Amino acid sequence: MEQTIAVLGAGTMGHGIAQLLAQSGSRVYLYDPSEEALERAMQKIRSNVAVIRSERWGDCPSEDQVLDRIVCTPDPVEAVAGASIVIEAAPEKLELKRELYRLIERGIRADAIVASNTSSYVPEQLVEGMTFAHRFVVAHFFNPAHLVPLVEIVLHPQTSRQTAEPLIRLLKTCGKSPVVLSANVAGFIANRLQAALLREAVHLLESGVASAREIDLAVTEGPGLRWALSGPLATADYGGLDVWERVSDRLFPELDTRTEASESIRRLVRGQRLGVKSGGGFFEYPDGEANGATHGLPDGVQDAVEQRDRKLIRLMMVKNDTRTGGGAQ
Ligand SMILES: NC(=O)c1ccc[n+]([C@@H]2O[C@H](COP(=O)([O-])OP(=O)(O)OC[C@H]3O[C@@H](n4cnc5c(N)ncnc54)[C@H](O)[C@@H]3O)[C@@H](O)[C@H]2O)c1
């Protein structure tokens, strides 16, 4: 049955979430205070869908069919009025998010589930004192949201698993893999693991053990490949836990334990080397020069993003053995 969903914020994450839901048959109301952001979102959705279709990934409807299911609006109250699920993907500023919730509080359906795509705030902080706190979760998608299957779900202490079930079901219908946390921790699961790996990678770089390229290759040509199939715990099972017991005893004292960003990242940031979006970071991205925005990437970077998306799709098709089509993932 067609559901009506509201997505609040049409930036990097919001447009991908809106696309994902529309692709799977929902009617989506997409709110953004910026008309330009809404226009850009619709253009990006059109090209994202074209990529998925040209890669023959699942049974994706046509560009026009997907866009026809999305209603853009500059009015948040209109966006949420008929929605059974509201997904907020507004900028990561606590007061801005809370102000948005206050705006929609009286307009949302009494049974609507409200989810935030926040990367860092806990549910209690976001909706303290709001009437829908007992129907609130964090639903943390990963960029690109229309492709990466993982969505981490963190329940507000007043929200039961049963209440969140329609959202979890919807995500599964869209081909996502929701992971529900049993306790609320900063960074949830995936970003904690990524941060631990980044800390050690930068430590190796700073210690002169290898170049940035060699360090990245050691991941993409090694454990990174395996991690798509078995996570760190299953990987330890395969290696043998007796082996990992000894490795842990020997290696853990050697690993980096710093408690703040490394000096080399600080130096790069001070020098405006912010990564792909500024033309360089640990590596060079000449086509990204002079671009300071988080979206609206210049052509060269846009091409690189499209190539990355195509490779991600092909990887997922091989991983899930859906190369011959049939099923979203
Ligand atoms: N970018 C990522 O990789 C990533 C990954 C996971 C989670 N997140 C989280 O998703 C959320 C959105 O991040 P993003 O990267 O899409 O940001 P973004 O800056 O790309 O997009 C934010 C959008 O929100 C709009 N906006 C501004 N004020 C608003 C308001 N009052 N109400 C609704 N929309 C408003 C902006 O016009 C913009 O289009 C943040 O909470 C972020 O932490 C981001």
pLDDT digits (tens, 9 = 90+) for 76-128: 999 999 999 999 999 999 999 999 999 999 999 999 999 999 998 999 999 99
In whole numbers, what is the pLDDT of the chain averaged over residues?
A: 92
DSSP 62: P
The CATH 1.10.1040.10 domain(s) of the chain lie at 190-320
Would the annotation count 93 as a binding residue? no
Distance CA 149, CA 115 (A): 17
CA 10 to chain centre: 14
Answer whether 194 contacts ligand 1 (Cβ < 6 A): no
Active-site annotation holds for 284:
no
Say whether pLDDT at 289 is over 60. Answer: no
Mutation to probe ligand 1, out of 13, 114, 126, 143 (largest number of atoms < 8 A from CB): 13
Query: Regarding predicted confidence, which is higher, 42 or 303?
Result: 42
Answer whether 12 contacts ligand 1 (Cβ < 6 A): yes
Cβ neighbours of residue 89 closer than 8 Å, sequence gap 6 or more:
7, 8, 9, 10, 11, 13, 14, 17, 117, 141
Query: Of 211, 190, 207, 192, nearest to 255 (Cα)?
Result: 207
**Which listed residue (2, 128, 152, 284) is catalytic?**
152
- Which structure tokens are listed for 71? 């209603």
Query: Of 17, 145, 187, 176, nearest to 87 (Cα)?
Result: 17
Distance CA 321, CA 137 (A): 32
Say whether pLDDT at 325 is over 90. Answer: no
CATH of domain 4-180: 3.40.50.720
Dump strand ranges (E) for the chain: 4-8, 27-31, 70-73, 85-88, 113-116, 136-141, 150-155, 177-180
Distance 9 CA to ligand 1 centre (A): 6
- Which structure tokens are listed for 293? 């925005």
Say whether pLDDT at 45 is over 60. Answer: yes
Model confidence at 292, pLDDT cuts 50, 70, 90, reads very low
What is 190-320's CATH superfamily? N-(1-d-carboxylethyl)-l-norvaline Dehydrogenase; domain 2 (1.10.1040.10)
Model confidence at 268, pLDDT cuts 50, 70, 90, reads very high
Percent of the chain past pLDDT 70, that is, above it, reads 93
The CATH 3.40.50.720 domain(s) of the chain lie at 4-180
Answer whether 98 contacts ligand 1 (Cβ < 6 A): no
Per-residue model confidence (pLDDT) at position 158: 96
Contact 44, 14 (CB under 8 A): no
